[in-house]
């Protein structure tokens, strides 16, 4: 009997130990920098992202703007520290001809936006407007070239128009005639978008040759800043696409491969963005956390051909995708943004941070009024979404040294399915401050997490938290600050050990000195 009690007690203790959340961080093992471009964004001529989002027109008297771009949007994105902005698409990019969007606005031809609602595109927001806006934001531009319906000549002329020194090409004279006296700094160039889909429905074996042709004529010999070429990469788990690109593209012709993955319940029935069930939430988080597997497996293929990791993985479209808000244009992809989206954002950014050796850029889709937006607008009103607040909280990781960590988490269980409740990432910035970002995706239970840090000790800890009463909660135009970061105090520090109590469905960022 006594022996049975001892065994039972041991088993109970083992079960309790196994049910603990622990994180071990190794400061001494740090070697990779978290690129600030992981915190990038994506803007497309889709719905009200550009028009009535960024751009309200130079003649607008009711909304404060600079050259037609909303000042409140500029201020919000600068606070968030937006590092890079991808434009003009998306599917729209492979129908876009850049010359239609430069020169006197009254002379710019209009076009039909066949991808997003067959609405008229008047081209009043074009290359000059976008690149000038990026300068105002302090963000690097990432231009998506038209490979689907364009020509190599058209793309190389765009490179010359935007980046070449004065007098070196007829394109630079064209630029000066359109009011820009000096070249812009445009390093990032995408050669096509979703070549496997809306960018041409190509097989990868065909796209390789198309890419090589376009890259050949995108010369940058007269450019003091080397072009950074990004190939149209795989959709989700199309590992064959990555394999062929890595095997067949000459190393001197590309710098990164793209990867697109959305957190979608079902493409035919995406579900509501606000009144979703816990089952729908669980499936969305399954899709979001799949990013870990996708990044790991695509990176492993890249490692075979590029063991020194000179080429990057650019996750240049990611985020949650649901049914549009009732009463809105189905082609405009306008959806609300809840604490579920904060969970997607925090979890994916943790994944990208932890893969900083290979992931050098990521672009959330999309900035304003489309998909998992960080900003929503309605005429003169503007609100910041939970996703915005996560991106702003996490900007402490930009260009910081990634600290390797190991997470042991209890499960968030729904029926017969389970996911790890806690995920995290950590970094040390140039000022010596350590930051730890933590996500508890469990909507029902607080999680207590013990963090042990090797190779450092600290004297103080502070933090911020993003949480709300329900995972379906969101900021509205009537209640724009329902969800916003507040100080976090449920943490204790003793030397190099932290104990943190993370509420259900919340994001926490800690700062240690």
Backbone φ and ψ for 145, nearest 5 degrees, come out as -80, 150
Distance of CA 75 to the CA centre of its chain: 19
- Please say whether the beta carbons of 390 and 466 come within 8 A: yes
Helix (H) or strand (E) segment spanning residue 26: strand 21-26
Pairing mode, if any, of strands 491-494 and 140-145?
unpaired
Burial 338-372 (b: 16+ CB within 10 A, else e): bbbbbbbbbbbbbbbbbbbebbbbbbbbbbbbbbb
Q: Which two tokens stand for residue 142?
A: 């990432």
Strands (E), 398-490: 401-402, 405-408, 411-414, 417-420, 422-428, 434-440, 447-454, 461-466, 486-487
Which residues in 200-252 belong to E strands, given as ranges? 228-235
Residue ranges of E strands in 150-254: 188-191, 228-235
Sheet containing 447-454: order of strands = 405-408, 21-26, 447-454, 497-502, 491-494
Contact 37, 356 (CB under 8 A): no
Reading the block at residue 214, the tokens are 């376009």
In the block, tokens 């925090």 appear at: 346
Tell me the C-alpha distance between 437 and 351, whole Å.
11
Q: Is 194 a residue of the active site?
A: yes
Whole-number Å distance between alpha carbons of 285 and 344: 7
- Residue of 44, 129, 140, 317 with catalytic role: 317
Instruction: Quote the crossing angle between the two packed helices 339-354 and 386-394, to the nearest 10°.
Output: 30
Largest Cα–Cα distance of the chain, in whole Å?
A: 94
End-to-end CA distance of the chain: 52
Q: Quick check: is 317 catalytic? A: yes
The residue annotated as part of the active site, out of 194, 205, 280, 481, is 194
Nearest-angstrom CA–CA distance, 139 and 135:
6
Residues labelled as active-site residues: 194, 317
């Amino acid at each position: 009997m006594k022996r049975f009690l001892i065994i039972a007690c041991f088993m109970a203790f083992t079960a309790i130990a196994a049910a603990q959340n622990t994180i071990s961080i190794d400061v001494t093992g740090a070697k990779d920098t978290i690129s600030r471009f992981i915190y990038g964004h994506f803007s497309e001529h889709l719905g009200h992202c550009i028009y009535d989002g960024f751009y309200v027109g130079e003649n607008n008297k009711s909304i404060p703007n600079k050259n037609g771009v909303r000042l409140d949007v500029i201020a919000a994105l600068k606070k968030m520290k937006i590092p890079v902005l991808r434009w003009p698409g998306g599917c729209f990019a492979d129908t876009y001809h850049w010359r239609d969007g430069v020169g006197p606005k009254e002379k710019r031809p209009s076009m039909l936006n066949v991808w997003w609602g067959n609405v008229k595109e008047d081209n009043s927001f074009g290359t000059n407007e976008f690149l000038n806006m990026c300068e105002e934001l302090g963000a690097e531009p990432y231009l998506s070239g038209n490979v689907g319906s364009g020509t190599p000549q058209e793309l190389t002329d765009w490179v010359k128009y935007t980046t070449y020194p004065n007098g070196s090409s007829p394109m630079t004279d064209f630029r000066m005639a359109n009011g820009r006296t000096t070249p812009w700094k445009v390093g990032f160039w995408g050669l096509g978008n979703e070549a496997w889909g809306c960018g041409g429905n190509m097989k990868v074996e065909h796209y390789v040759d198309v890419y090589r042709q376009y890259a050949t004529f995108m010369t940058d010999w007269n450019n003091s800043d080397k072009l950074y070429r990004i190939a149209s990469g795989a959709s989700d788990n199309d590992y064959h696409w990555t394999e062929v690109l890595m095997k067949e593209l000459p190393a001197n012709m590309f710098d990164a491969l793209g990867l697109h993955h959305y957190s979608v319940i079902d493409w035919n029935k995406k579900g509501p963005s606000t009144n979703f069930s816990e089952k729908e939430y669980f499936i969305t988080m399954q899709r979001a956390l799949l990013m870990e597997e996708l990044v790991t497996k695509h990176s492993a293929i890249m490692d075979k051909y590029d063991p020194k990791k000179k080429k990057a993985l650019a996750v240049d479209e990611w985020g949650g995708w649901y049914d549009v808000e009732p009463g809105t244009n189905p082609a405009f992809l306008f959806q609300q943004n809840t604490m579920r989206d904060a969970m997607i954002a925090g979890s994916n950014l943790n994944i990208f941070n932890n893969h900083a050796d290979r992931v050098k850029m990521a672009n959330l889709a999309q900035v304003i009024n489309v998909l998992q937006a960080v900003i929503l607008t309605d005429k003169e009103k503007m609100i910041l979404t939970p996703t915005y607040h996560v991106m702003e909280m996490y900007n402490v990781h930009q260009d910081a040294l990634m600290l390797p960590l190991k997470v042991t988490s209890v499960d968030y269980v729904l029926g017969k399915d389970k996911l790890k409740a806690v995920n995290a990432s950590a970094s040390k910035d140039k000022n010596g401050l350590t930051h730890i970002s933590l996500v508890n995706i469990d909507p029902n239970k607080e999680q207590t997490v013990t963090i042990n840090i090797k190779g450092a000790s600290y004297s103080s800890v502070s933090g911020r938290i993003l949480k709300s009463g329900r995972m379906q909660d969101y900021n509205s135009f009537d209640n724009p600050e329902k969800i916003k970061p507040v100080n976090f105090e449920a943490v204790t520090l003793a030397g190099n050990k932290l104990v943190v109590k993370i509420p259900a469905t919340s994001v926490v960022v800690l700062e240690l000195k």
